[in-house]
Amino acid sequence: MSSPVYQHPDVARLISSALDEDLRAIGDLTCQALVPPTARLQATVTAKAPGVVCAVELFAQTLAQLHQRGLGTVTIEHSLPDGAVVAVGDVVWRAQGDANALLQGERTALNLVQRLSGTSTLTRRYVEAVRGTRAGIFDTRKTTPGMRLLQKLAVTSGGGRNHRIGLYDQVLIKENHLALMGGARTASPAAEAVARCRAQLGGSCLIEVEIERLEDLEPVILSGADIVLLDNLGGEVLAEAVRRRDRVLRPGMRLVELEASGGITLESVRPVALSGVERISTGELTHSVRALDLSMRCHPL
């Protein structure tokens, strides 16, 4: 089933902007010189590296926008769904139709699908690395401007989970917010910040708070935090945080999840997961990903 993300206006705007970068008001000079208006091609996209694909549907959306700009139609014959695992040589997408549309949409679609598939592939590696532990792999807001919804989708296609989408859907209290907490009424500015957010935003708002010392853990839990972020702390400290959290919770209290973050890599993620935290977040899934190598080849009809 297609994700509703593909119908979001942000996605249409992203594709339109990418096409404008390539075509501007002049269009494709190479096609104008070499490709007759009636020419037809069959195009096949194959994997040149193993991985997990995501957003293959963007080929169809790119071609649809080119059709709206006056180019011919293309019929899609094969398209892999989000999360499909591919090996070298596997066919990811195949279509036939207007040669100008296929050639002019090729790079825009490949740029998006390769990058998003790279995120799905890397996420799957992280998920496999923590298999057997209680930890889930989460993304961050360290995304490419304009691509956030698609990059968040790519993380879930790889088996990961989404952190907040933006500033509007969850509270995350960090050290720069706590810098404004002068005159806090308690010994824990982090706990005071949680209490203020809870009073202002109500019981249904998800509140996460970052702490840098374990002494703040019990106060922020008792102040109403839903998630506690432990940034750049080693495995032993994380394990101690889990023990302290478990001692604070009483029968009938909801679980306050612990999230580890900061400098997480594929090499270090499993020891972090073995500490017992429920969440591990890393910006690497979206800001430093290597695109999955895909190639499109065309043949005349």
| 236 classed as catalytic | no
Q: 115 is written with which tokens?
A: 């990058």
Residue 231 annotated in active site: yes
Choosing from 40, 134, 142, 244, the catalytic residue is 142
In the residue annotation, 216 being an active-site residue is answered as: no
Cβ-in-10-Å burial (0-12, 13-18, 19+) of 94 comes to middle
77, 212, 231, 240: which one is catalytic? Answer: 231
Q: Is 210 a catalytic residue?
A: yes
Q: Which distant-in-sequence residues (6+ apart) come within 8 Å of 202 by Cβ?
A: none
CB 224 within 8 A of CB 193: no
Q: Are 114 and 292 in contact (CB under 8 A)?
A: yes
**Which of the following is catalytic: 174, 196, 198, 244?**
174
Which of 208, 210, 216, 278 is the catalytic position?
210
Which of 40, 107, 134, 198 is catalytic? The answer is 107
174 is known as an active-site residue: yes
Residue numbers annotated as active site: 107, 142, 174, 210, 231
